[in-house]
């Protein structure tokens, strides 16, 4: 996957995303890549957000958590399969920790909304964290508890065991960078421009900023 300018500043030991600042634990050991899987509404947006984090090596949009094998986008968004739109994130734990990624995830979504995210409604747009092992579970639960305290509202985002992740159709991958022309309600425009207009009209960044204030992550203007 292509990468864009990162928000992580390892030389300074901090990560700043829209005002959200975290301490970065220094590590001299070299570790193998790890995987994080987040469902945060539209997977185009989650992919765009996490591609900007230094230490993230690749992102893949896909489907997880449902009962249908090899689901299609139409099946998932129509409902009934149980799948979430999600992004599988491969990252270097020597550069960015799993806990830091979860902290950023919570502050880039509305984790109080059980019915979808922003203008996208339905089961496929719900938020969830899919954990690969017990260490990820404990980190995710600790992050959830802290986020709930900071927010002062109940978080409904579940922490779930990871199940089979199905890669979404090719045209969904790196959608926010696409240069093909597509037909939209804004007319025929480049895919990347269509993404920006969709994100703004859906109210994603406005709602995140309203909810999280200076702790908001990945705000795009």
Catalytic residue set:
42
What's CA 47's distance to the chain center, in Å?
6
- Cβ burial of 87 (10 Å; 0-12, 13-18, 19+) is buried
Tokens of 26: 């220094």
Element (H, E) at 204: helix 204-212
- Rounded-to-integer distance, Cα 89 and Cα 215, Å: 22
User: How do 34-40 and 84-91 pair as beta strands?
Assistant: antiparallel
Alpha-carbon distance of 15 to 10, in angstroms, equals 7
State both tokens at 207: 């709602």
| Distance (Å, whole) CA 61 – CA 71 | 13
Q: What is the DSSP letter of 114?
A: S
Q: Which helix (H) or strand (E) holds 103?
A: helix 98-106
Structure tokens at 171: 């045209």
Which stretch of DSSP H or E encloses residue 150? Answer: helix 134-151
For the beta carbon of residue 74, count every other beta carbon within 10 angstroms. 8
């Amino acid at each position: 996957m292509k990468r864009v300018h990162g928000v992580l500043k390892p030389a300074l030991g901090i990560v700043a995303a829209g005002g959200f600042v975290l301490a970065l634990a220094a590590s001299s050991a070299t570790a193998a890549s790890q995987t994080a899987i987040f469902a945060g509404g539209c997977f185009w947006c989650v992919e765009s957000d996490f591609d900007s984090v230094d230490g993230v090596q690749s992102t893949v949009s896909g489907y997880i958590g449902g009962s249908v094998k090899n689901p299609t986008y139409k099946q998932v968004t129509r409902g009934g399969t149980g799948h979430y739109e999600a992004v599988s994130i491969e990252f270097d734990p020597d550069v960015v920790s799993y806990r830091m990624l979860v902290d950023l995830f919570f502050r880039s979504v509305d984790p109080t909304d059980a019915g979808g995210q922003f203008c996208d409604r339905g089961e496929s747009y719900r938020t969830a964290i899919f954990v690969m092992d017990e260490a990820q579970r404990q980190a995710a639960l600790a992050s959830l508890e802290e986020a709930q305290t900071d927010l002062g509202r109940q978080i409904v985002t579940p922490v779930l065991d990871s199940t089979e992740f199905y890669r979404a159709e090719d045209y969904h991958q790196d959608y926010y960078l696409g240069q093909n022309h597509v037909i939209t309600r804004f007319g025929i425009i480049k895919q990347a421009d269509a993404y920006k207009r969709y994100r703004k009209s859906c109210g994603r960044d406005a709602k995140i900023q309203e909810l999280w204030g200076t702790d908001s992550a990945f705000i795009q203007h």
